[in-house]
Amino acid sequence: MAYTEVEGTRHPLRMWADPHTVEQQAMQQLRNVANLPWVHGVAVMPDVHHGKGATVGSVIAMREAVSPAAVGVDIGCGMSAVKTTYKISQLPDNLAYLRSKLEQAVPVGFGHHKRPVDPTKIHGMKGSGWAEFWKGFDDLAPAVHARRDRAEVQLGTLGGGNHFLEVCADGDDFVWIVLHSGSRNIGKELAEHHIGIARKLSHNQGLVDRDLAVFLGGTPEMDAYRRDLYWAQDYARRNRALMMGLICDVLRRHLPNIAFEQTISCHHNYVAEERYDGVDVLVTRKGAIRAGGGELGIIPGSMATGTYIVKGLGNGAAFNSASHGAGRKMSRTKAKKTFTVKDLEEQTFGVECRKDAGVIDEIPGAYKNIEDVMAAQTDLVEVVAHLRQLISIKG
């Protein structure tokens, strides 16, 4: 699909979604962003939907400015995936048992480890700069210093909502592990702290939406935000790496002679320094992944509709980006009112997962059709593998 350029905005607004089918609230948010004075351009992904300040599924390039709401409150949220040497035929018949062992190793929802996980005890985690990473906590905003103990025991945990841990299989029946998680509570608190500061700055007082408040380059507020932001992005990356280490250790204990390929990892709520049209910009991807030429990425559907491993095509018009998933088509509240446990059982048939009222808001029917989303971005990514779920763990 070629993009549609929306007319009547101050800066380019390119959409890989049909503007006529995007909810009105989301379209207004996109126009609001594209009219900000600091914006270089906006690329809209096919999974776009309404969010706080900025839509989920938007890529915003700014000159010497960044809006915390255009990053998202779950800083560094993203995906990891690893292919194993196992095939489906080698898995045990009782996937419920394997699921229970994975849930014991990786706390979900509001759960956390009883004590901080020692990375040096996890296969492949030793010597990854952990001491330096935690030393950086002391430089974060004083408002979160009391949260260190919590941040330590939450490292290596999944969280709730749309975060998940899955065992999948590709078209050749090879087994994969797929993770979706972020920076847990510490990332959320840092984001909310800085959004609060940005809203009070004088240059943000006349904005049509105060949630789009920005920090400007060369100011102490911007420096403080970027310091905390990059630390939280690293926390999210390490959180997924630690979980993947715990998961792989479980599989080594229960699946003889299993081995793992190189892990694929990508953020989809983050900031990066990039250059387009000869201009240095700060690119925020909120519900979008980087898809530079040849770069591997991960685009999940929902609990039972599979995940795509993709390779970026390096489309500069989209700021080298692609969607982060299927995207919601209804709110969690509406999903709970619309669907029943029976609907959940039917829509997740054949997948070993929770089938109770606690996860109805994550039912596949609450999400856009992942096939439609992929069809809308054939000029952004090419498909490497389509994974189907065997086990899906949610909080």
Per-residue pLDDT at 277 = 94
Share of the chain above pLDDT 70, in %: 99
Catalytic residue among 49, 163, 194, 324, which?
324
Share of the chain above pLDDT 90, in %: 96
74: left (phi over 0), alpha (psi -120 to 50) or beta: beta
Would the pTM of this model clear 0.85, i.e. be above it? yes
Per-residue pLDDT at 244 = 97
94-181-82 Cα angle (round to 5) = 55
In angstroms, the Cα distances linking 262 to 47, 82, 176, 241, 248 are: 28, 6, 11, 12, 12
Interstrand relation of 164-169 and 381-394 (parallel, antiparallel or unpaired)? antiparallel
For residue 127, pLDDT beyond 90: no
264-286 mean pLDDT: 97
Per-residue pLDDT at 1 = 57
Helix (H) or strand (E) holding 337: helix 332-338
If pLDDT is split at 50, 70 and 90, which confidence band does 2 have?
confident
In angstroms, the Cα distances linking 21 to 16, 126, 180 are: 12, 49, 27
**Both tokens of residue 25?**
């609230």
**Cβ(241)–Cβ(146) under 8 Å?**
no
Q: Which amino acid, 94?
A: N
Residue 324 annotated among the catalytic residues of the structure: yes
Strand partners, 65: 216
Tens digit of each residue's pLDDT (9 = 90 or more) over 58-71: 999 999 999 999 99
> Measuring CA to CA, which residue among 288, 241, 293 is closest to residue 262?
241
Per-residue pLDDT at 123 = 84
Q: How far is CA 91 from the centre of its chain?
A: 28
Percentages helix, strand, coil for the chain (3-state, rounded to 5) are: 35, 25, 35
- DSSP assignment of 215-272 equals EETTSHHHHHHHHHHHHHHHHHHHHHHHHHHHHHHHHHHHSTT--B-PPEEEESEEEE
* Range in 110-124, 150-164, 182-196, 298-312 the model is least confident about: 110-124
What distance in Å separates the CA atoms of residue 21 and residue 24, rounded to the nearest whole number?
9
What distance in Å separates the CA atoms of residue 201 and residue 208, rounded to the nearest whole number?
15
Per-residue pLDDT at 395 = 77
Per-residue pLDDT at 192 = 95
Per-residue pLDDT at 125 = 79
**Both tokens of residue 378?**
């054939």
What distance in Å separates the CA atoms of residue 363 and residue 205, rounded to the nearest whole number?
40
What distance in Å separates the CA atoms of residue 168 and residue 389, rounded to the nearest whole number?
4
For residue 164, pLDDT beyond 60: yes
Per-residue pLDDT at 254 = 96
3-state DSSP call for residue 280? strand
**Cβ(190)–Cβ(229) under 8 Å?**
yes
Report the chain's mean pLDDT, rounded to a whole number: 96
Half-sphere exposure of 188 (CA within 13 A, CB side): 9
Name residues whose C-beta falls within 8 Å of residue 69's C-beta, 6 or more positions apart in sequence.
Answer: 51, 52, 53, 54, 195, 211, 212, 213
* Range in 6-10, 123-127, 186-190 the model is least confident about: 123-127
Strand partners, 216: 65
143: DSSP letter: G
3-state DSSP call for residue 96? helix
Tens digit of each residue's pLDDT (9 = 90 or more) over 219-250: 999 999 999 999 999 999 999 999 999 999 99
**Both tokens of residue 324?**
């982060």
Per-residue pLDDT at 286 = 97
